[in-house]
Amino acid sequence: MKTASNRGGGQGSVGDDIPLARADWSFGGAVADAFVAHVRRSVPGYDEGHDLVCRVSDFFVHRDSVGYELGASTGELLRKLAEYHAHKPGVRWIGIDRERDMVASARRHCGGVANVDLRHGDIVQADYEPCDLMVSYYTIQFVEPRVRQTVFDRVYRSLNWGGAFVLFEKTRGPDARFQDILTQLYIDFKRRQGFSAEEILNKADSLRGVLEPFSTQANMDLLRRAGFVDMMTIYKNICFEGILAIK
């Protein structure tokens, strides 16, 4: 398996000692070790979004619920959800990630937290139990567009009636003018976080063909085609958005 430490295609770093790999970004290897620090500097309101997901979950997580996180990475959000609902010991939390290094990191981070199950697997093909909550926190933007609808379809089928899908994604603007504004505002944000101009360009090179954000409307269309009718935006910060969809 390729990792960030042995992939070629360029020199330099994207920040936080993560080496550049042109058009070949991966969450394995060195990325797993540096992920939390890097993503907190890269995504506006990263921890604020975690807190919002926990508060929203109050409306859907019952004493016997099953909850999923799709793309659990290092288990930060899954641990917060499990601890937030610790007074409901019958709740089970399942995290899925396709990077073994991330799963290993998540198991260490969630060690000792009750009712958390971390699994190595692909969210496109995973077998899901009936559940009351599914969360995807900046994950589906990395799923190949050709199979993205499949993920939404499976999420909808797996949710119990009245269950919720909380989807956080980086989004594209609705037209070229808005996209230009969003891009420049996001670059301003990354500069304020201490990223150099070279690191910002290197990250963009690394994500070519790997990160494929859709517009808000395109994400809503995916949800609608899957079967969701009740949907609304619950978070927005530059080009980063949270959507709540209820079955």
From CA 210, how far away is CA 26, in angstroms rounded?
A: 9
Residue 12 neighbours by CB under 8 Å, 6+ apart: 19, 20, 198, 199, 202
**What pTM was computed for the model?**
0.89
pLDDT digits (tens, 9 = 90+) for 50-109: 999 999 999 999 999 999 999 999 999 999 999 999 999 999 999 999 999 899 999 999
Q: Tens digit of pLDDT for each residue in 33-64?
A: 677 788 898 999 999 999 999 999 999 999 99
Q: Where are the domains of the chain?
A: 1-247
Tokens, residue 162: 């009245």
Q: If you count them, how many residues does the chain have?
A: 247
Which CATH number applies to 1-247: 3.40.50.150, 3.30.428.10, 3.60.150.10, 3.40.50.2300? 3.40.50.150
